[in-house]
Structure 1
Amino acid sequence: MAYRNGAFVVDTREGRLAQVIGGAGGRVQLRKPGGGLEWEVPFTSLRLATREEREAAGLWPAGPRPAYGCGECAELDAARRAAAEGDDEVRAGDALVAQRRHWRSAHMLGGGAG
């Protein structure tokens, strides 16, 4: 199994949460989530980060609340919930993608609160 660029993993040698930025052969390049220090790890020293680990690191909002009091997060969350209650799976999927895309661009990549 290979880890795709952008995946959140744990360097099991030190228990550090990291984001995959590349790889070649049996080694994977990592960096601290959101940027910063980069390092290289043997593939065998990694595992995928759990949802709980990602939430604890602030990489996805815990619970049903929108993040940071962001108005756009609240609107997208309401739209996702409304779509999930209906029978249109495509609409529900699109709403989830929109919510996650906003979260990634506005809150993970330094865009600030919406």
Structure 2
Amino acid sequence: MTTEPTTSFEPGTLVHDLVTDRIGEYRATSGPYAMLRPVGGGREWQADPGSLRPATPEQRLSAGVRAANERAERATWGYPEPSRPPAPVPGCETCAEVDGLRRTAQAASDASAVTDADVLMRRHQRAEHGS
């Protein structure tokens, strides 16, 4: 079943990009392109709006299952959930110092510095605490 091209979608609509044969979440337009994001997150890609079709129920279901499987697979890699900051190890001076940097960045609403502190904390904990 082929549907006629639709040139405008509501943000969040799942669409089928016929050129890449991928299902993506419509985000917005940028110049002559439509911006799509993989279901479940990831790097956006540009698509020709004329090559987009609304995703079928089967395609939406398949993309959702694929995203859930990818999340479950990433969880088995041993990495903590990225949205959860690493907790400092009690009694560790370096952990306390980096935690202080994170708290200072949070107070200043500096999201980039918060992320930097989280990365430093994870690197330190892997190297020094084996976690």
TM-score (norm 1): 0.47
Larger radius of gyration: 2
Q: TM-score, normalised by structure 2?
A: 0.41
